[in-house]
Structure 1
Amino acid sequence: MFASLSRRLFIGTVATAAIAALAPAQAADPIKLRISTPAVEADWHAKMLPVFKQELEKTAPGQFDVEIHLNGTLFKQGTEPAAMQRGNLEMAMISAFDISKQIPEWSIFTAGYLLRDPDHQRKVFGSDVGQEMYRLVEDKMGIKILDVGYLGTRQLNLRTEKEVKTPADLAGVKLRMPGSDTWLFLGKALGANPLPVAFGEIYTALQTGAIDGQDNPLPTVRAAKFYEVTKQVVLTDHLVDAIFLSMAGSTWKKLDEKQKAAVTNAAKAAVRFNNENRIKEETELADFFKSQGLKVYKPDVEAFRAQVQKTYLESELSKAWPKGMVDRVNAIK
């Protein structure tokens, strides 16, 4: 009897151990991924984040818990890289301007009139140039860039009525820019008087006259309703802007190879959704703003291009740019 009991206990123990060994990895707690962005809900780079979440759940069900935080409610615009580096944030959408604060070589991608259009942007960051620059971010900042999204081509959006044809016409214009030296430099290069204002404060600042204008891609102007408190859009095309969907290096290193592939593919799907919709919307927005009573027109873009490029090339900023990088970027067709 004792032998029979011992045998049953042994079989039960072995069976329990076998079941535990066969339990799927999904039984572990899901990996929390909080994504912080200053984007408003109506903007495409906010709408792309649920696509990332849905794609990740499809390919890695139950393995990730994705939280999306819009409107800078979790971290203020520009503070996300430091939060990821401290281990306080898993993911964010960061700009070349954010990166250039820590890696001066990246200021090349903050320069006006370097990237020609969305297609050129995609090709540059998909080339060896992009991979080299991504490695710098991973090595020096401990942040993994998953993919680049088209943020739009930046235009001037003013509450003043004076027509702007050349940079000289922006003299004294208080132009809102995000609060970093590289953003403010771009504002000066355009000929304006740049003032740092957080994204969430732009509408009120325009409404009260604290600023005379702001620069953003047209889809952002509509999504944030800046057209309600401005009178004109000046199509300077001064910056083909990018947003980089990124992950804290400490989070990335915790993932196994299958999880890394799932995250990367989800990022690509999200970026593709953003790019297709944003490019389509941009083609339609001039007519929308005109219907809202705004004047929409092209200035002397060549005059802007000449001044902006000259200002950058004569500046300290350009001394940090990797040797020959401008030529390499220009050579990508």
Structure 2
Amino acid sequence: MTTASPLRRGLLLACATALCGLAQPALAQAKIPLRISSPAVPDDWHAKMWTVFKDSLEKSAPNQFDVQINLNAALFKQGTEPAAMARGNLELASISAFDIAKLVPAFSIFTAGYVVRDPQHQQKVFNGPIGTELFKTVSDKMDLTVLSTVYLGTRQLNLREVRTVRTPADLKGVKLRMPGTKEWLFLGEALGATATPLAFGEVYLGLKTGTIDGQDNPLPTARAAKFYEVTKQLVLTQHLVDSLFITISNKSWNALTPAQKQNVMAAAQAASKFNNENRIKEEGQLVDFFRQQGLQVSTPDVEAFRKSVQDSYARSDYAKVWPAGLLERINATR
């Protein structure tokens, strides 16, 4: 038996070390990349939830995924994420009902007023048979898999002057600022007001000068924009409970093992739960915040608003693309 010389042993050790060094990048590259694109700013719950997603996935599937979080629309502009995922240029994003409705018209029902009653109703609808059916259509038509439903916020009204608001008739003549698309303007008219298109950046001055009489937004947005400085009343109409949907490209989803799919799904649901709980808590606290700022807070006859607004939609062209009986099934979900 021949004993290797010290020089040869050194060379063998050096080669082995080099090979190990080469193996480390190879192992790192073996991680499955999950690029995330979000327009959310870092302080938003919709941004923070992605860290929960990443941490949850690292805990359940250590060293299997390379989760890359991109905020502030730094990777893709808001609204372009579905196409990027379909092309294979992006793995994960949170997309809106408006995004989905462009390719799945039936989904436009969730952009209408008073369809979803509250965050709890939202989760029951999308986690039940209705969600299963619609998400199957999303997968077929958009090449995306919906992992979980995220609560985006409930839109309320701020009014420049105090008035009694019980039903839509009480908003007659109120110049209510709405985003400038036909869908938003229709909602404003359905609420009983005179829908007035105005850029968001002009709303504060419009309320201050009387160009508009009111605006609608979720409470966190109204606080951030300081609309409480130029309005006297908060009317809790609850006219639109908005959603986001954590989605993954079918290409990425189908490449996962069953165990990996379960881990990714669980991480998405943990992220949604984190966001939803914190968003609901924040909105509850903000009602008191607006009271402290001197605003009168009132709650109208929400059922009267719901019936009137749903009747307006039922008579419109928007409802023609909704599957027969879908609105009734949503209303019946408890």
Give the counterpart letter for 1:208 in structure 2. Answer: L
CA contact (8 A) 1:34 1:67 kept: yes
Within-5 A mapping of 1:119-198: 119-158=120-159, 160-161=160-161, 163=163, 165=165, 166-168=167-169, 169=171, 171=173, 173-177=175-179, 181-194=182-195
- How far residue 290 of structure 1 moved from its aligned partner, in angstroms, is 1.4
1:206 aligns with 2:207: no
* Distance in 1, Cα, partners of 2:246 & 2:45: 13
TM-score, normalization by structure 2: 0.80
TM-score, normalization by structure 1: 0.80
After superposing the two structures, state which structure 1 stretch, 283-292 or 27-36, moved more.
Answer: 27-36
Structure 1 stretches (4+) deviating beyond 4 angstroms? 23-27, 193-197, 210-213, 223-226, 228-231
- How far residue 64 of structure 1 moved from its aligned partner, in angstroms, is 1.6
Name the SS of the counterpart of 1:183 in structure 2: helix
* Distance in 2, Cα, partners of 1:164 & 1:141: 45
* Distance in 2, Cα, partners of 1:140 & 1:225: 41
Report % sequence identity. Answer: 54
Give the counterpart letter for 1:277 in structure 2. Answer: N
Mark the CA change 1:330 to 1:307 in structure 2 (over 3 Å): closer, same or farther.
Answer: closer
Instruction: Report the RMSD for the aligned CA atoms in angstroms.
Output: 3.4
Mark the CA change 1:320 to 1:230 in structure 2 (over 3 Å): closer, same or farther.
Answer: same
Give the counterpart letter for 1:163 in structure 2. Answer: R
Mark the CA change 1:268 to 1:163 in structure 2 (over 3 Å): closer, same or farther.
Answer: same
Match of 2:53 in 1: 52
Mark the CA change 1:80 to 1:170 in structure 2 (over 3 Å): closer, same or farther.
Answer: farther
* Distance in 1, Cα, partners of 2:229 & 2:49: 25
Match of 2:30 in 1: 28
- How far residue 271 of structure 1 moved from its aligned partner, in angstroms, is 0.8
Mark the CA change 1:175 to 1:79 in structure 2 (over 3 Å): closer, same or farther.
Answer: farther
Match of 1:69 in 2: 71
Q: Structure 1 regions of 5+ residues with no counterpart?
A: 5-11
1:321 aligns with 2:322: yes
CA contact (8 A) 2:156 2:234 kept: yes
Give the counterpart letter for 1:282 in structure 2. Answer: E
* Distance in 2, Cα, partners of 1:167 & 1:285: 24
Give the counterpart letter for 2:81 in structure 1. Answer: E
Name the SS of the counterpart of 1:315 in structure 2: coil
* Distance in 1, Cα, partners of 2:82 & 2:195: 24
Give the counterpart letter for 2:204 in structure 1. Answer: Q
Give the counterpart letter for 2:240 in structure 1. Answer: L
Mark the CA change 1:223 to 1:75 in structure 2 (over 3 Å): closer, same or farther.
Answer: farther
* Distance in 2, Cα, partners of 1:93 & 1:227: 30
Give the counterpart letter for 2:120 in structure 1. Answer: D
Match of 1:265 in 2: 266
Q: What CA deviation, in whole Å up to 9, does each residue of 1:304-328 have, x standing for no partner?
A: 2232111111011112111222222
- How far residue 162 of structure 1 moved from its aligned partner, in angstroms, is 5.1
Alignment coverage as a number of residue pairs? 317
Mark the CA change 1:205 to 1:184 in structure 2 (over 3 Å): closer, same or farther.
Answer: same
Q: Structure 2 regions of 5+ residues with no counterpart?
A: 5-12
Mark the CA change 1:289 to 1:301 in structure 2 (over 3 Å): closer, same or farther.
Answer: same
